[in-house]
Structure 1
C-alpha cells in the first residue's frame, strides 16, 4: 500500500450508534434534554457560588471550577453525539476531529488533576483545621486551579499530536466523537508504539492522581476515626462523600475504557462507557454536589430572597 497517498485525509465519518427507526429520535431528544439540563445545572452552581457569600469557601470555589470545566467538557462531545443521532453517520473534517481529541483529553486530564486538588482541600480542612484558611488562601486556590488547566492542556499535546501525525487508510470512526482508540484503528501503520506512549502519558497521570487521592483519603480516614463523637465523624465524612462519588464515577469509567481490552468487540462497550464520563457524569455532578446539601439550600434561599426584594423595589 502506498504510504504517501494515505498520510493525510481531509475528513472522517463518525459512525455513531447503530440506532434506527423510532429509537433514534427518542435517543436524540433524551440526549438533548440531558445536555441542556447539564448546562443549566452547572451554570446554576457557578452563579450560586459567586452570588452568595456563604459559599465563598475553597471547597465551593473548586466545585465551581469543576462545573465550569464540565460545561466545556460536555460541549466538546455532545454536539457530535446529537448530530450522529439525528443524521446517522456524520462527516467531520480532520482538523475539527484532531482538535476535538486534543480538547477532550485536555479537559479530561484537567479534571483528573482538579479532583486531586479537591481531595487535598478536604484533607487540609479536616486534618489541618487551624491552619486551613492560611494554607488554602484565595491566592493559593487560584494557583492550584490554574495549574490543573495548564498541566492538563500541556500533557494532552503528546497523545493528540501523535494521533494527528498518523497515516490513515480508513475514514469511518466507530464512535460518536473523535477519540484516540477509534482513530488508531484507522491507521495504515502499526500503532503499538503510539499505544505505549498513550499508556505512559495518560495512564501515569491517571494513576498518580488516583494514588494521591487515595492517600489524602487515607489521612482523612485516620483523622476522622480519632474524632470524639459520632456526630463529628458523620459531619466530616459528609463533606467528602460527594467528592468520593464523583471520583468513583470518573476514574471507574476511565479505567474501563483505557485499561480494558481493545478490539472490535470493545467498540460498543467503549461508546456506552463514554456516555458515562462525557454525558452522564457532567449531568450528575451538580446533583451530587447539591443533593441534601444544607449550605447550598440555604444559599438558594438567601439568593432567592434578595431577588424577590429587588423585584419588589422595582
Structure 2
C-alpha cells in the first residue's frame, strides 16, 4: 500500500456488481424488480399495521418500524446502483459518499436493535404472559426506538469521521455503494484504528443486539420445554419462527461481511453478499411476516375487502389479548 501514489480524492468510482458490460441489463432488471418488491411489500405491511385496529399493539409498532427501516436501507443504496448500472458515469462525490456511508451504517445497525426489541417482546409474551400488558407498552417501545436511533447515529458518525481522516491511494471502489469495507481497502496504510473500532465498539453496538436475541431465545426455549399443551407449544413456536428466520438472514450476512480484518477482505464476494442484505432480505421480510402470521394475513384480507367495497379503510384502535398480537 505504501508504494501507491497518494492523491487527494474528490470523488469515487463505484464499480458496481459486475465489470462485464453484457451483464449490466440483466443486473438492472433483476435488482429493479427486487427493489420494487421490497419497497411495495414493506409499505403495504406498514399501511396494514397502521390501519387495522387489531394490529395496534407494541409488537406491530416494532414491526412497522422494521418495515420502514427496510425501505430506507434499500433506498439508500439501490436507486444509485440502478442509475450507475446503465450509465457511463459511475462516479460519486466524496461528500455524497461519506453521507451515504453514514446513513447506511446507521439504518443497518438500527435493524439489529429493532430485532432485539422484538425478541424481548416475544420473551415477555411467552415467559410472562400475565404481565405482558404491564411490562410492554407503546411508550416503552417508543423509548427503545428513540434511544436506539441515538446510539446508532452516534456510532455511525464516529465511523464516518474516522474514514474521512484516511488517506486514499485510489478512488475505484469495488462495490455498488460507499461501504466501510471497500473504503478501508483503499487506505494507503492499514487502518488500525478503524479496525480496532470495528472489533470493539462495533461489536458492542452492532453485535450486542444479536447476543441479546440469543439470550432471549434461550429463556424462551426453557419456557417452551415446560409447556405440556400441544396447542400452546404450536402457538409459541409460530410466534418465534418468523422472527428467528429474519434474524438469521440479517446477521448471517453482517457477520460474514464486517467482522474480519481488512487484509482478508474479498471485495468481489463481499459485494455479492451485500446485495443479499440490502435488497434480498428487505424483500423477504414482509413475505416472511405475511405468510407465517395469521393476523397479518387476516388484516390484509380485511383491508382488500373493505377497499373493494367502500374504497377506503377507517383506522381504529382496540385492545388485544396478550397472545393475539403474535399469531
TM-score w.r.t. length of structure 1: 0.93
- Of the structure 1 ranges 78-87 and 219-228, higher mean CA displacement relative to structure 2 is found in 78-87
2:317 is equivalent to residue 304 of structure 1: no
Q: How does 1:202-241 map to 2 (within 5 A)?
A: 202-241=202-241
Aligned to 1:105: 105
Structure 2 match to 1:147: 147
Inter-partner Cα distance in structure 1 for 2:62 and 2:305: 25
Check whether the contact 2:41–2:283 (CA below 8 A) recurs between aligned residues: yes
Counterparts of 1:31 and 1:234 in 2: how far apart (Å)?
37
Shift of 1:262: 4.2
Q: CA contact under 8 A between 2:73 and 2:278: conserved in structure 1?
A: yes
* Residue-by-residue CA offset, 1:142-165 (whole Å, 9 max, x unaligned): 111222222111211111110012
Alpha-carbon contact 2:49-2:60 (below 8 Å) kept: yes
Asked if 1:266 corresponds to 2:266, the answer is yes
Tell me how far apart the structure 1 counterparts of residues 217 and 3 of structure 2 sit (CA, whole Å). 54
Task: Answer whether contact 2:52 2:303 (CA < 8 A) is retained.
Answer: yes
Counterpart in the other structure of 1:254: 254
Q: Provide the C-alpha distance between the structure 1 equivalents of 2:265 and 2:217, rounded to a whole number of angstroms.
A: 36
Report the aligned-residue RMSD. Answer: 2.2
Are the equivalent residues in 1 in contact too, given 2:6–2:188 (CA < 8 A)?
no
Structure 2 partner of 1:73: 73
Aligned to 2:26: 26
Does the CA contact (< 8 Å) of 1:290 and 1:296 recur in 2?
yes
Structure-2 residue corresponding to 1:16: 16
| Higher relative contact order structure (alpha carbons within 8 Å, sequence separation ≥ 6) | 2
Tell me the equivalent position of 2:84: 84
- Deviation, 1:205, is 2.3
Distance 1:89 1:311, change over 3 A: closer
* Count of residue pairs the alignment pairs up: 311
TM-score by length of 2: 0.89
Superposed CA deviations along residues 285-308 of structure 1, whole A, max 9, x for unmatched, are 001111132111211122223223
Q: Which moved more, 1:84-93 or 1:66-75?
A: 84-93
* Distance (Å, rounded) in 2 between the aligned partners of 1:265 and 1:117: 31
Stretches of 4+ moved more than 2 A in 1?
1-6, 17-23, 203-207, 259-265
* Distance of 2:83 and 2:264 partners within structure 1: 23
Which sections of structure 2, spanning at least 5 residues, go unmatched?
Answer: 313-327
Match of 1:124 in 2: 124
